[in-house]
Structure 1
Amino acid sequence: MSKTQEEIDLAYENGRFIPGAQAYADGWEAASVAFRARVGGEYDVSYGAHPREAYDLIAPDTISKGLFVFVHGGYWISRHKDDWTCYGEGAHQAGWTIAHLGYPLAPEVRISDIADSIARGIAAVAAKVDGPIVLAGHSAGGHLVARMAMPGVLPEDVLARVQHVLSISPVSDLRPLLELTMNENLRLDPEEAERESPALAPAPQTPVSVIVGAQERPVFLDQARWLAEAWDAPHIVLPGRHHFDVIDDLRDAQSPMLKTAFGH
């Protein structure tokens, strides 16, 4: 029996399957406001012509160990960098300069345009901070940071500095999204879906860890596995975590996730 459009769309729906989903979003936003109020930084610095092409850069109190860049999710169609500042807390505690990138959203732009924006944003912050670079992204952001690991996306001198990529709950193969109602906004066609899918690309030289919560939707478990298998990358399944709390370890400098990324 063929699936209804609603059933196809529900496979990629997260919030409706997480009790108290809105409370998680409210918590991210409140913690991020508090974090920005507590620490000084360079906020809303433009890196491009679009108003959303802006970054926040927050240095530690000590000599910086390197640059930690976080790219947020929201299916490329929603959310804002300001909602996620708190997810740089762990890296900041560990002595890294943290950067949060904003980017234009669909349907105004395509996913390939968003990847171009992220590459330019990373190059901009990398020019301001010396040392190694760690990239972390969640959901659509997990897709985008995986794209950055692929040759020819970042400038070669910037990619050479990337010591680890944390691709958290990524969408790694975009072809299933062609069937979703969401694609009315994403405007993916088969060619772009294939070109922008990390799981369909050769494994990069850059170390990548693929992380997912054990309680996530089946398609996200699949998407993470596909990338880990395609790239022969570490595949970390966090017990008891779902799509909205799988990134909580980024707030803890002592978490195994960050220790792995920082080479501890």
Structure 2
Amino acid sequence: MSVLSMVAPPPDRTTSYGPDDDQVYDVRLPAAASRDATVIVIHGGFWRPSYDRGHAGPQSTALAAHGFHVATIEYRRIPGDWPAMAADVLAAIHAVASDPALPDDIVLLGHSAGGHLAAWSAHQGVPVIGFVSLAGCLDLHMTRDLGLGGDAAAELMGAASETVWRAADPAMLGRPPVRASLVHGDADDRVPVEVSESYQAAVGAGVPLQVLAGCAHFELIDPRSAYFTHTVTGVGGLLS
């Protein structure tokens, strides 16, 4: 069974940060001793409306089992409306940061398109200590030029100008202002590892990239996979 079709236990609560049905975040509380940190999970799906936070449920549940407070955010995914998506992601992060029941130390954890959103958000003044990108679409221009996800990046940005493209592309924003960690499998046939390598080259070698031999795209968010331990240690490494 693919992680995309797994059904996770329901969250402890779902909280709205806006009036739209997609402007919510799910909270999962640690079952054991807390690491006193909040992980904001930003799901992937090539920014498309057909993929929602449901497929991040198993990942989020597993992170809570490892002692983290977890907030899995949803956001509007409207093809061609990057400004709405960007505004939602930032609003969700600020809402989680203001949630009195969640620890103040926050790490963003994004997979695939969510890796792009996590890296981009880190440059927008959000109150986080770092981000982890899992097989992230970190170089938005390269994602477009390779036609990944059936031209998903072009579909996301629509008729946006090159100025807007550059402002939305983490690879164009310089070294991130917070700690960062990149994890990517060398067997990924959806977002090839070269995308993370291109981002690292653009922002500087001070951002570490861990390339996992034999790891494909979804194994990093599948708690049943041996590679999932790298997701957990990636988050923990930013807190040490």
Aligned to 2:131: 165
Aligned to 1:7: none
> Identity, % of aligned pairs?
24
Q: Distance in 2 between matches of 1:179 and 1:259?
A: 30
Aligned to 1:259: 233
Question: Mean Cα displacement is larger for which, 248-257 or 110-119?
Answer: 248-257
Counterpart selection for 2:38 from 58, 67, 72:
67
Aligned to 1:11: none
Contact 1:136 1:168 in 2 (8 A): yes
Give the CA deviation at 1:116: 1.9
Cα distance change on mapping 1:188 and 1:209 into 2, 3 Å: farther
Give the CA deviation at 1:250: 9.4
Cα distance change on mapping 1:126 and 1:30 into 2, 3 Å: same
Aligned to 2:23: 53
Q: Distance in 1 between matches of 2:58 and 2:39?
A: 13
Contact 2:190 2:217 in 1 (8 A): no
Question: Mean Cα displacement is larger for which, 124-133 or 65-74?
Answer: 124-133
2:118 paired with 1:145: yes
Greater C-alpha radius of gyration:
1
Q: 1:125-136 alignment to 2 at 5 Å? A: 125-128=96-99, 129-136=102-109
Q: 1:5-20 alignment to 2 at 5 Å? A: none
Give the structure-1-normalised TM-score: 0.76
Give the CA deviation at 1:178: 6.6
Over residues 206-246 of structure 1, what are the superposed CA-to-partner deviations in whole Å (9 max), with x where a residue is unaligned?
Answer: 11111111111386222100122223211111111111223
2:70 paired with 1:98: yes
Q: Classify the secondary structure of the residue corresponding to 2:18.
A: coil
Over residues 137-183 of structure 1, what are the superposed CA-to-partner deviations in whole Å (9 max), with x where a residue is unaligned?
Answer: 11110000001211xx244xx2xxx2331111111222242785543
Give the CA deviation at 1:68: 0.8
Q: Classify the secondary structure of the residue corresponding to 1:246.
A: helix
The one-letter code matched in structure 1 to 2:92 is G
Contact 1:110 1:188 in 2 (8 A): no
Aligned to 1:245: 219
Give the CA deviation at 1:119: 1.1
Give the CA deviation at 1:89: 3.0
Give the structure-2-normalised TM-score: 0.83
The one-letter code matched in structure 2 to 1:193 is W
Cα distance change on mapping 1:173 and 1:94 into 2, 3 Å: same
Give the CA deviation at 1:42: 0.6
Root-mean-square deviation (CA, aligned residues, Å) is: 2.7
Give the CA deviation at 1:249: 5.7
Contact 1:91 1:250 in 2 (8 A): no
Question: Mean Cα displacement is larger for which, 176-185 or 200-209?
Answer: 176-185
Q: Distance in 2 between matches of 1:145 and 1:191?
A: 20
Q: Classify the secondary structure of the residue corresponding to 1:68.
A: strand
Uncovered stretches (5+) of structure 1, i.e. residues with no partner: 1-22
Contact 1:88 1:251 in 2 (8 A): no
Uncovered stretches (5+) of structure 2, i.e. residues with no partner: none
Aligned pairs, how many? 226
Q: Classify the secondary structure of the residue corresponding to 2:181.
A: strand
Contact 1:89 1:252 in 2 (8 A): no
Give the CA deviation at 1:125: 1.2
The one-letter code matched in structure 1 to 2:4 is W
2:42 paired with 1:76: no
Q: Classify the secondary structure of the residue corresponding to 1:245.
A: helix
Q: Distance in 2 between matches of 1:61 and 1:219?
A: 33
